[in-house]
Structure 1
Amino acid sequence: MNLVLEIILWSIIAFALLCIFVYLLLPWIFKIFVSPYFNASYVYDSRDFEQKEKILSEQINIPELSINPNNGIFRISFGNSRILSEGVIKLHSKGNYYSNLRRLSRKTKLLNLIKSSHKESDEVLGNFKETVLEYELTDQNVQIIASIKQYHNQNYIIFEIKFPDGLTDTATGKFEDLIVSFPSFFNKSPNTRIFTYREAIFCPPSRKLNATSAPVVLYDDELNCMVLCPLDGFLNATISEDKEGWINCGIQGEITSLPKNFSQKFILYFGKGINNPMEEVGNLLLRYHNSERKNLYVDIVCSHLGFWTDNGAYYYYKTEKGLNYEDTLVAIKDYFEEKDIPIRYFNFDSWWYLKHTNKAFTTVFRPIVRLMGGGLYGNTLRWETDPEKFSTDLKTFYEERFQIPITAHNRRWDSRSPYLDEYEFITYKNHACPLNLDFWEWLMQHAKESGILVYEQDWMNNQINSIPYLREDVNAIERWLNSMAIAAEKNGIDVFYCMETPGIILYSIKHPNITITRCSGDYNHRWPLSYRYVHSTQTNILIHSVGLISHPDVFRSRSMEGVSMRPFGEKRPILKCLYQNLNAGPVCPGDKKEYVNWSILSKTCRDDGLLLKPDKPLTANDLMFKPHKKYYICDTYIKREDLIWRFILITNIWPNRVKERYFTLEELGYNHENFILYDYFANRLEKVNSSQKIEIGKLEKYGYKYYILNPIFENGLSFIGCVDKFIPCSRKLIVDLNSKNTSLTFVVNGLKDANLKILLYSETKPEKIHLDDHPLDFTKSSREYYNYDEANKLLSIYLRFKEDTKKTVEILI
């Protein structure tokens, strides 16, 4: 008996030591084995700089299209030695493959061209010449119509394939083996580098063209590029490269049939760069679907500071000692009110509702479950309060005790849910999915009554992968998402996508109330920057392209400086907070309530919690995708008419790759001649030109620099703004700015009791400064005054607000 107990005891000790060992190794494992799969930027290779410089032919962005009148095979030329050749149609039906290219393979049947015609017309994307090619599957008596639209003096072509009779028995059995491909071609150009996204949760960036629903950028070493992207049918459209080298644009291979009059469109765009071509393609998609970019302040989650309880947060499946979740939430809310921390909404993650859970397992392995993001807690049974965590339903709790807006999480549905007794779901094994509007109308009405303003649909790709019907019926996923969005909009609720695929991001343009999506995996303070940060700054390129708002997940804001042992604390809270602010989406602290760091968070917002943002999320600069020896450089901006303020975050993620610790503005693609460079944390200004080397210096591993590049006005002034904030010239703070030859006027929006310092660069001391048409004193004896530092050419203006109001400042030179 003693021997048995001893064996059990040692087994427990060994298991505990193994868990500790694995836990300690996790950051290293993520750095070496995981992070490389979440990065599509250039990886330094010394051989790229030893070889003779390649001379690339000029890319012509207005392409030349030629079509063989006998079979419809096309060819596109866009410069010398830049050709897309053997452009064909491929499809699969009833066990056979068809193509209009006779020699494709022995098993491929010929697709006969019956008729071709030409016409000119116009639509929302402009005037075009269209070639229409009519084919027939002779053994099935099925008509197929392909068309190619070339737009006059435009850098894009649109391909469409239609099935007036539908198409049956299409599935190939593999997602990547497409049932339809048009266009399909060989890429005979220098544009062989790839930037795209994997068909996986959170859309990881990729340098490989595996089957994906994402846009695909093919580019050369000088960033001449072409972009392939679905124009519609986003949820089943797929782009892939097969082993023969064909680039195929079509429909994923598990779809079993296509209905009558089904069509699929793709756009082929030519340009230069990564960020701008992706944004331009997104603009074309938005125009085509009569949609608009989401306002960065569209709802409370996007506009104000919130408190989050999802994976990585302190209160994720964890309460205050001795309290249930209901009382914990009230205690947190009361604490923030007492400390004047302007939290304007709460996130309720998966802990709040009932799931099909093995409680014994989740209790014993709770740390592992928390680390894995709650995935082991199972599917949703009832999207209603768990009685072990709440004494009442969510509506009553919200109305009687909470009374603060909520964004609420949901995951994949369970086939054992009692909701299946009242509503129709599709099911497979233990998984279920509601496609019809009636269920979603009930759910969203329940959400509205419970104070939920934003509904978070998580586990999206998991939901699709767990039920074959969603991958086999061409309309199934759209029915699910469409019903969800329509019901939410009827109830004034916005939708937040999580664990989404690229096609789901593209689909978001169809509904104005799909507003937010996640740009990276779950937060953990121990993950290296090479994992989530790199992932998010590249996935943001896709998210921004279609006008969605990016969410980088929760973070811990507690300052750990001076704490010698900090294995469980965030080592870089300032960097994480700065990044969240530059991301132009939600800012999401998730600390234990006493450790929420308002001194850092206050740099992201006004004292009422209104966030101060740039115009777009932070993205990797184009330079990161061509051969270089730099630090990892990301940027965003604010545009005011023809002037641009740029915000540049530089991080030392891969120290061994860095051979050049400087950059020039030309390298980053900034065209103006002169700027004022503000080194934010050094509080230093410098006048720089576009070709000047800006020395960064040696950064420690994961060290960072934050620069703000400010335009110089025609009068010699440069406006930096309120440098107490990470985004000093945010539109919500500086609501108007107007420069003339001899003056500068700006309007500051301030709250009661706010004391703001506005910083400018000026070659000379101003002749006069007026505040609301009254002269401003050059003295500290007044509460509102200005100061001029002639040595550093710094002009500081100090404003005090006795009430919520706007103040107008005029500077005369």
Structure 2
Amino acid sequence: TFNNACILVDHITGQSNDLVVSITTDGTYSIKVKDTTWLHSAPTSFVTGGDLHSSPGGDLKLLQTTGTSGQDLLGAWEDTNFQYQAGESRITASIRLYPKRQDNFLIFSQKYVDDAKETNVSSYDDIIGCFPSFKLTNAAAELGYMAFAGGFFGNQNKAFGRFNANTTRIKDGIEGGPIAIFDHEGNTIIISPFSEFMVASQRFKPGDSIGWGIMGGVKEVPKGYQYDTILYYSDGINKAFDGWGGLLRTWFNKTDSDILKDDTIKYMGYWTNNGGYYYYNTEKGKTYQDTIKELIQYANDTGIPYNYYQFDSWWYTRGEGNGTKEWEPESTIFPDGFKSKDNVYAIQNGGKFAFVIECNSSVSVPIQEEFWDSLFTKAQDWGMIMYEEDWMTWEYLKMESFSTNLILGKTWLSQMARSAQRHGIQIQYGWAYPREAMQSLEFPAVTQARVSGEYRPGHSEQWRIGEVSMFASALGVRPYKDTFWTTEIQPGNPEENRLSNLAFSLRCCTTDGQILRPSKPATAIDTQILQRAFHPLLPGDSEIWSTHTIYDATYHDLYFGTVLVVDPPEGYILFAKDLDFIIDEGEYMYYEYPKFSEMAPFNKSSILKLETRCNKTNPCLYHFVQKLHFEFHGNHSYYIIGEVSKWMTMSQNRIVSITPDYNAELMINMLGAPYEDVTLTYIEDGELKQRTCNLGMPGTQTMSLVTGRCPF
């Protein structure tokens, strides 16, 4: 216990001093980034007994300030604890740091030492406890922000701007999500919930403060309940999201194991959702059953490698509020067979399972895990591999209990995910709020999420997912932008049977439909986000995304980068520092796809002038190839350009590994469909070469770059 009236201590959060928290024993604190103070604490407050208690300046009494230490999954930690008396309840606010870690972050916690009653406030978008909280001031450093909010993992109402006393556009409350705050150099802190995601909110008071706590509708909090907030720092926006997400995934043990099993991520399929030709539409005079059978037959006859078929909301029995009444195929839709408020599953409607049903709501929520077991067991017999929980924002808003109950939201999603996990079914979230997005950290079965609106007429801008993909990817969820079309002109929405473009489809995948993808989702580069925040008057339609595929080439990691450019500002220059796959010691060649014969050198000092001809109709795609030195039997250099007939020319789904061996061979191990021909393009000692290998019956092959033989 600190007995002095007021002691100020600077705490370095990791093994560098890039992020420092200054803590005073009176309960105030501030945040420094690289020796510049960015944030000053605003008052701490809690609601109990129907009254607001705050400090300083109010009747929230600081009982004691203590220091504790210990060890957890993240390492050795040190806490500064402020114990407050809020009416009849004691509540501890603490700041935790991990001084021995390489990364820099803080955990702020609110722990209820006693039960707290009458905690709710007048607005669900407010909070019942505020810690941490920061003043909106004009800091010594000019700061910008990116804040996620609304549906589609926060993509719907995301906002950019300057973070200062005049900030007005941050969406808080039920819709709110993580916020990234950064300076002109890209030094970034991310602030978000670290636990209890379904009840966590931020409160934004324009011109005053921003703070984090439990959402405003919660009426009581039990003894021992704890909510946590994380503040994470890194020296780049993308780097900050990568590090923040990696830490969260470590804490919640979220791995890619289920993603690797999800065939709807791995393979191309056919979708019938809104924007598709067969969305509430069949072939003239035919049932859906006949329509789908003909679609499958045509794909089989022509070699279109659809590995699965998505059935949207048109096939089951609808009920009150247009929700799901019975999740069974209607006889007029699938004659051979195959949850709304009045669903047949609820005990209240004569069913077997417990549901929450509110008198004035058009939705209901299952609260018995056996319901999901029953649903998924039946769906397994149908051959279902992925379940989409759609309209999640609508469900949340229409069910008032989600905003007043501490555990209902988490119970709903947890029961669904656990059951799906047991049945080997993956889940896609649709229209999810950021709170639902972050809750997916606890569920390996949630492998993907739609982060955009539907791809349909009138929604031509829905593909802009560069920023939100940073958020989704950080959570261990693959971002999904809805479907893509292979033909531009059709009678109605694409893809009508017999009008799909096979050649176009195969540019994204192997002949058996495995999607050729990079090592990470493509995300907006930092400078795009900095421009949106600091220069909002410049053209706002620019999209510059990057991604890469990385190989362990024995001697060093080998990077193959890809950059998408759409509508860059006039005279825009792309620097090497803007691309996370350019390493200082690396030598590269780059080209604009598909003109691989026009390659030019690139290194850490290079620039690339982007042209305004790169637009939505004709986007520019640049590929960067790192030089590979091979020193057996002489000093040889290689640039492996890859499979130039594909958009993603280097993918570990095709080129599995690049391996030197003791026989002085440089082996390229390939994967694909049985008997598929794969043509590999590369440069050997300055000479452009191509070799074609047939993968044979196993669908695997090894080629030697040294001899050009396959099998080597």
Conservation of the 8 A alpha-carbon contact between 1:157 and 1:268: yes
- Counterpart secondary structure, 2:271: coil
Gaps of 5+ in 2: 1-15, 161-168, 631-636, 708-712
Evaluate the alpha carbon distance shift between residue 568 and residue 651 of structure 1 in structure 2; reply closer, same or farther with a 3 A threshold. farther
Matches within 5 A, 1:70-85: 71-85=26-40
- Counterpart secondary structure, 1:604: coil
Matches within 5 A, 1:87-98: 87-98=42-53
Q: Take 1:61 and 1:454, find their aligned partners in 2: how far apart are those partners?
A: 46
Pick one of 664, 676, 694 that aligns with 2:608: 694
Pick one of 503, 510, 515 that aligns with 2:447: 515
Q: Take 1:249 and 1:521, find their aligned partners in 2: how far apart are those partners?
A: 28
Q: Take 2:244 and 2:140, find their aligned partners in 1: how far apart are those partners?
A: 21
Rg larger for? 1
Q: Take 1:462 and 1:732, find their aligned partners in 2: how far apart are those partners?
A: 37
Match of residue 587 from structure 2: 674
Give the Å deviation of 1:744. Answer: 2.9
Match of residue 477 from structure 2: 548
Evaluate the alpha carbon distance shift between residue 812 and residue 200 of structure 1 in structure 2; reply closer, same or farther with a 3 A threshold. closer
**Aligned partner of 2:23: which letter?**
I
Q: Take 2:624 and 2:92, find their aligned partners in 1: how far apart are those partners?
A: 52
The C-alpha deviation readout for 1:487-519, integer Å capped at 9, x for no partner, is 222222111110101111111111111111111
Matches within 5 A, 1:179-194: 179-186=128-135, 188-190=139-141, 192-194=143-145
Pick one of 234, 248, 270 that aligns with 1:285: 248
- Counterpart secondary structure, 2:467: helix
**Pair 1:248-2:211 in alignment:** yes
Conservation of the 8 A alpha-carbon contact between 1:62 and 1:156: no
Could you tell which deviates more after superposition, 633-642 or 187-196?
A: 187-196
The C-alpha deviation readout for 1:62-121, integer Å capped at 9, x for no partner, is 43333332x32223333444242235421122331112212xxxxxx4221222221222
Alignment coverage as a number of residue pairs: 648
**Aligned partner of 1:691: which letter?**
S
Q: Take 1:81 and 1:755, find their aligned partners in 2: how far apart are those partners?
A: 58
Q: Take 1:533 and 1:666, find their aligned partners in 2: how far apart are those partners?
A: 26
Match of residue 189 from structure 2: 226
- Counterpart secondary structure, 1:463: helix
Gaps of 5+ in 1: 1-59, 103-108, 358-376, 395-412, 561-565, 570-589, 765-792
Identity %: 24
Match of residue 701 from structure 2: 807
Match of residue 150 from structure 1: 97
The C-alpha deviation readout for 1:768-802, integer Å capped at 9, x for no partner, is xxxxxxxxxxxxxxxxxxxxxxxxx3121121234
Q: Take 1:700 and 1:116, find their aligned partners in 2: how far apart are those partners?
A: 58
**Aligned partner of 1:761: which letter?**
I
Q: Take 1:225 and 1:74, find their aligned partners in 2: how far apart are those partners?
A: 19
Pick one of 63, 68, 79 that aligns with 1:119: 68
Could you tell which deviates more after superposition, 303-312 or 266-275?
A: 266-275
**Aligned partner of 2:37: which letter?**
R
- Given the two structures, how large is their TM-score scaled by the length of structure 2? 0.86
**Aligned partner of 1:687: which letter?**
P
Evaluate the alpha carbon distance shift between residue 129 and residue 736 of structure 1 in structure 2; reply closer, same or farther with a 3 A threshold. same
- Counterpart secondary structure, 2:202: strand
Match of residue 711 from structure 1: 626
Evaluate the alpha carbon distance shift between residue 78 and residue 680 of structure 1 in structure 2; reply closer, same or farther with a 3 A threshold. closer
Q: Take 1:268 and 1:61, find their aligned partners in 2: how far apart are those partners?
A: 15
Q: Take 2:524 and 2:696, find their aligned partners in 1: how far apart are those partners?
A: 41
Match of residue 643 from structure 1: 558
**Pair 1:414-2:340 in alignment:** yes
Matches within 5 A, 1:378-417: 378-394=322-338, 413-417=339-343
Give the Å deviation of 1:196. Answer: 1.7
Give the Å deviation of 1:315. Answer: 0.4
**Aligned partner of 2:19: which letter?**
P
Matches within 5 A, 1:11-410: 62-69=18-25, 71-102=26-57, 109-137=58-86, 139-140=87-88, 142-153=89-100, 154-186=103-135, 188-190=139-141, 192-204=143-155, 205-207=158-160, 208-211=169-172, 212-293=175-256, 296-356=259-319, 378-394=322-338
Give the Å deviation of 1:692. Answer: 2.9
Pick one of 412, 420, 425 that aligns with 1:493: 425
Match of residue 432 from structure 1: 364
Match of residue 558 from structure 1: 487
Cα root mean square deviation, aligned: 2.3
Give the Å deviation of 1:697. Answer: 3.5
**Aligned partner of 1:620: which letter?**
A
Give the Å deviation of 1:478. Answer: 0.6
Q: Take 1:416 and 1:305, find their aligned partners in 2: how far apart are those partners?
A: 36
- Counterpart secondary structure, 1:452: coil
Give the Å deviation of 1:434. Answer: 1.0
Evaluate the alpha carbon distance shift between residue 794 and residue 382 of structure 1 in structure 2; reply closer, same or farther with a 3 A threshold. same
Evaluate the alpha carbon distance shift between residue 87 and residue 150 of structure 1 in structure 2; reply closer, same or farther with a 3 A threshold. farther
Conservation of the 8 A alpha-carbon contact between 1:182 and 1:249: yes
- Counterpart secondary structure, 2:314: helix
Conservation of the 8 A alpha-carbon contact between 1:175 and 1:253: yes
- Counterpart secondary structure, 1:297: helix
Pick one of 664, 667, 677 that aligns with 2:575: 664
Q: Take 1:634 and 1:745, find their aligned partners in 2: how far apart are those partners?
A: 31
Give the Å deviation of 1:213. Answer: 4.3
Could you tell which deviates more after superposition, 678-687 or 617-626?
A: 678-687
Evaluate the alpha carbon distance shift between residue 120 and residue 192 of structure 1 in structure 2; reply closer, same or farther with a 3 A threshold. same
Greater helix percent: which structure?
Answer: 1
Evaluate the alpha carbon distance shift between residue 296 and residue 439 of structure 1 in structure 2; reply closer, same or farther with a 3 A threshold. closer
Give the Å deviation of 1:122. Answer: 2.0
Matches within 5 A, 1:444-463: 444-463=376-395
Match of residue 726 from structure 1: 647
Pick one of 747, 752, 765 that aligns with 2:669: 747
Q: Take 1:341 and 1:442, find their aligned partners in 2: how far apart are those partners?
A: 34
**Aligned partner of 1:146: which letter?**
A
- Counterpart secondary structure, 1:117: strand
Matches within 5 A, 1:528-607: 528=460, 531-534=461-464, 536-560=465-489, 591-607=495-511
- Given the two structures, how large is their TM-score scaled by the length of structure 1? 0.76
Give the Å deviation of 1:300. Answer: 1.6
Q: Take 2:672 and 2:317, find their aligned partners in 1: how far apart are those partners?
A: 44
The C-alpha deviation readout for 1:420-451, integer Å capped at 9, x for no partner, is 22122112333211122122221111211221
Match of residue 620 from structure 1: 524
- Counterpart secondary structure, 2:436: helix
Evaluate the alpha carbon distance shift between residue 807 and residue 700 of structure 1 in structure 2; reply closer, same or farther with a 3 A threshold. closer
Evaluate the alpha carbon distance shift between residue 266 and residue 666 of structure 1 in structure 2; reply closer, same or farther with a 3 A threshold. same
**Aligned partner of 1:512: which letter?**
P
Q: Take 2:56 and 2:112, find their aligned partners in 1: how far apart are those partners?
A: 19
Q: Take 1:85 and 1:614, find their aligned partners in 2: how far apart are those partners?
A: 41
- Counterpart secondary structure, 2:641: strand
